[in-house]
Structures are given as structure tokens and as C-alpha cells.
Amino acid sequence: MTAAAFPRSLADQALTAMANPLRQACAVRLVDRRTGLTHRVNGSPLVLFTKNPTEAVAELLSGRDAGVWEARIEPIGGAE
């Protein structure tokens, strides 16, 4: 996984969250690059809440076209 998988504005936040040894909680979203919208399942946005964003990104992007899909990581709450 490279930083290129993330929008430039979120790349620094994502890398900081992934490198944080305290494993800050994150929301990981699957986003359609064509529309900029979060992927929905039965009308609900697909969001994974995790302390291991690297695994969540790998799971969300597995088997998907990287030209169409991207994963966005958003740190939530404070570091524990």
C-alpha cells in the first residue's frame, strides 16, 4: 500500500494514524473516485471502525479496481 492510494489532503493524517504506536481509532471508508461518494450497502455508508487501518484498507480494496476505488482514513477520538 502506498500513500498514492489516498487523496493528498488525507495522506499525512492517514500515515500519522497508521504509525501511531498507540493505535488511534479510525474510520475507514471506501470511496468511489468517479463520484467522490462513500460506497453504500443497502443504503448505509460502508465504514469500518478500527485501530488497524492498514488491514482495513487492504480488506476494502481487495479485488477492487484501484482506478475506481480509494480508501480514506479518518482518525476519530483522541489517542489512547
pLDDT tens profile 33-58 = 999 999 999 999 999 999 999 999 99
Provide mean pLDDT across the span 60-80: 89
The sign one gets for the Cα dihedral 58, 64, 70, 71 is negative
Question: Per the confidence metrics, is the pTM higher than 0.85?
Answer: no
Q: What does the longest C-alpha to C-alpha distance in the chain come to?
A: 36
φ, ψ for residue 43, nearest 5 deg: 90, -10
